[in-house]
Amino acid sequence: MRVMTPDQKAAYEALTGLVHRTAMKIAELPKDQRGAALQLASNSIARGIANLGIAEPKLVEVCADGIAAVLREIEASGKPSGGHA
């Protein structure tokens, strides 16, 4: 396993936090609104990354996939915070 620099660790923690917070917010929505919310989140992440001058479309894909994975875990547990699993 590679050792991360402090900046890399901070970026990793920021991204994983973003993924988890976003999935939790989406889980609060009714199921029929979650797909659109996931697309909106992906678009927002893409704009944010572009505004930072980062040309890395794979990063958007990784974040969107991460949000979807966490959302599936929340749905499987049947315990989204205030949602309708």
Which pTM does this prediction carry? 0.81
Q: How far is CA 82 from CA 44, 74, 77, 85, in A?
A: 23, 11, 13, 9
Distance CA(38)–CA(71), nearest Å, equals 9
Number of CB atoms found within 10 A of residue 67's CB: 24
Digit-coded pLDDT (tens) for 76-85: 987 655 444 4
**Across all residues in the chain, what is the average pLDDT?**
88
SS3 content of the chain, % helix, strand, coil (to 5): 75, 0, 25
pLDDT at 81: 52
Place of tokens 């029929």: 32
